[in-house]
Amino acid sequence: MLTPLNLKEKFMQKPSEFEASRNCSHFTSASFLSKAGKRTPVLQRVSTVGQESGSADTSRDVHGWVMKLFTDEGNLDWVFNNTPVFFIRDPIKFPSMNRSHKRNPQTHPPTLTCFHVGNPEGIHQLMILFTDRSTPESVRHMNAYSGHTYKFTKADGSFNYAKIHLKTRQGIRNFSCEEAIKVSVWGQTDFENYCMIQDMFEAIEREDYPKWDVFVQLMSPDEAEGYEWNIFDMTKVGHTKTFLCKKSISFGSSKFTFLGLTEQPQNYFSDIEQAAFSPSTMVPGFAASADPVLQARLFAYPDAARYRLGVDYQQLPTNSAKSEVYCPFQRDGLMRFDGNYGGDPNYVSSSLQPTKFYQDVKGLSAAQLSPHTDHEKRAGKVLAYTSEITDKVFVQPRALWEVIGREPVHQNRLIDNLVSTVKDVKYPELRKAVYDLFSRVDKELGSKLQKRTAEAIKA
């Protein structure tokens, strides 16, 4: 039995294919995007966060979305979520944030309300969590987002900041809270996980292959300088309607590829459970930005994989690159089965066995492969250890409140979903703090939440 995934403990997946719809060399030197029609095998896994292994995957939750692209220049992992924002912008809070969604060490039910009242910078993500968007009907009917700003780089040393959005061609479909509970109750369906894993499995079996269009939103470093939101702050959506509407800025969103899922895993354990993903698994042409949360993630995932799967997890067939990768310093370890680099020296740049690095082969400099700007250094520095709460924090959640108001009774459902959690909060002063927090998003939201929670407690 493997140690379960450390943070996301429920998963579904498919190995399949990623196809570049067009040549993208005007914004990246990444080889897998260099030609229209170029195909790259991909392994995908979708997960929930708060639930234990074996729980219903229809539980209200943020859903993780990872893809391992086996490119001809090594592996690229995209470790995304089905929401475009996140709960925190200071990575030091991550273990607390994550634990608050798990079982309380004494009483068992999670006490996330308490964490989020103390850390209101995540109100945007919290609101999404309590909308229907957090009970998707199926993997086939959800979108995925990089959330973080990444960089697409070019061999001439230039780059653009980038956010990636995967949009389902099957259309978004969500359950209401009641529907999600109903389908996850034993006995009501064949098996509690019917809805998401089985739905996808059956669609692929009947050759109704699900597809996603992949969009990239690009922003030049100069544009990032003057942008109204800090692009390294993942509690905000950047690059959305507001930004696109600014005609004076040459910024655009364009579809550049699509993902088509056509295959099933042959064995869940070897193909899926043994898979390990990390935002630090990257290929030339794609790079991390200064977002401090992303920077922390670059180290966290390989640590988790070594703990969960062992030091040679990258040798496992489901993880190993399909193109040649030479890392003779990564050797030994339990159950090494690939020859262990034979008699090669255990370092690179040996004078007896000279190593050619990627930049030597391609005739590039390190600066070309890893461009930085002053803006990035400044913004990255300013952002760390910052949990500042200003009125700006509530601007985008308020916009979300208005957007869901366009769907019949979705605002009401959001309130009901909140009530079902807040009514169980033991301390009146904490409940009051929740009403105050949501009143900062919208006064009516706060007052309705207060009224209905009081009624639910009395009932």
3-state secondary structure of 194: helix
Among 28, 31, 44, 47, binds ligand HEM (CB under 6 A): 47
Q: 180 or 276, CB closer to ligand HEM?
A: 276
DSSP 186: B
Separation in Å, CA 95 to CA 92, 302, 339: 7, 16, 38
Is residue 38 part of the contact set for ligand HEM (CB under 6 A)?
A: no
Q: 11 or 212, CB closer to ligand HEM?
A: 11
Containing H/E element for 416?
Answer: helix 410-422
Closest CA to 235 of 368, 111, 366, 386: 386
Is residue 43 part of the contact set for ligand HEM (CB under 6 A)?
A: no
Instruction: Tell me which stretch binds ligand HEM (CB under 6 A): 63-71, 184-192, 315-323, 409-417.
Output: 63-71
Q: How far is CA 70 from the centre of its chain?
A: 19
Among 66, 123, 162, 259, binds ligand HEM (CB under 6 A): 66
- Structure tokens that stand for 217 in this block: 């939103």
Q: 298 or 399, CB closer to ligand HEM?
A: 298
CB 408 within 8 A of CB 415: no
One-letter amino acid at 237 equals: V
> What is the rounded distance in angstroms from the CA atom of residue 57 to the CA atom of residue 14?
16
Is residue 289 part of the contact set for ligand HEM (CB under 6 A)?
A: no
Among 300, 382, 395, 456, binds ligand HEM (CB under 6 A): 300
Is residue 457 part of the contact set for ligand HEM (CB under 6 A)?
A: no
Give the relative orientation of helices 395-404 and 428-441 as an angle to the nearest 10 degrees: 80
Is residue 51 part of the contact set for ligand HEM (CB under 6 A)?
A: no
Q: 46 or 422, CB closer to ligand HEM?
A: 46
Instruction: Tell me which stretch binds ligand HEM (CB under 6 A): 28-36, 86-94, 167-175, 245-253.
Output: 86-94
State the residue number with the nearest CB to ligand HEM.
Answer: 64
150 is in an annotated binding site: no
Is residue 231 part of the contact set for ligand HEM (CB under 6 A)?
A: no
Separation in Å, CA 148 to CA 73, 217, 442: 23, 12, 27
> What is the rounded distance in angstroms from the CA atom of residue 171 to the CA atom of residue 169?
5
One-letter amino acid at 447 equals: S
CB 264 within 8 A of CB 205: yes
> What is the rounded distance in angstroms from the CA atom of residue 48 to the CA atom of residue 58?
9
Q: What is the dihedral of CA 375, 381, 385, 388, to 10 degrees?
A: -40
Is residue 296 part of the contact set for ligand HEM (CB under 6 A)?
A: yes
Among 27, 70, 78, 86, binds ligand HEM (CB under 6 A): 86
Q: 145 or 435, CB closer to ligand HEM?
A: 145
Among 22, 154, 306, 308, binds ligand HEM (CB under 6 A): 308
Print the binding letters for residues 259-288 with ligand HEM: x by CB under 6 A, - otherwise: -----------------xx-----------
Please report, in range form, the residues annotated as the binding site for heme.
301
Rule CB under 6 A: which residues touch ligand HEM?
5-8, 11, 45, 47, 64-66, 79-81, 86, 91, 94, 147, 276-277, 293, 296-297, 300-301, 304-305, 308
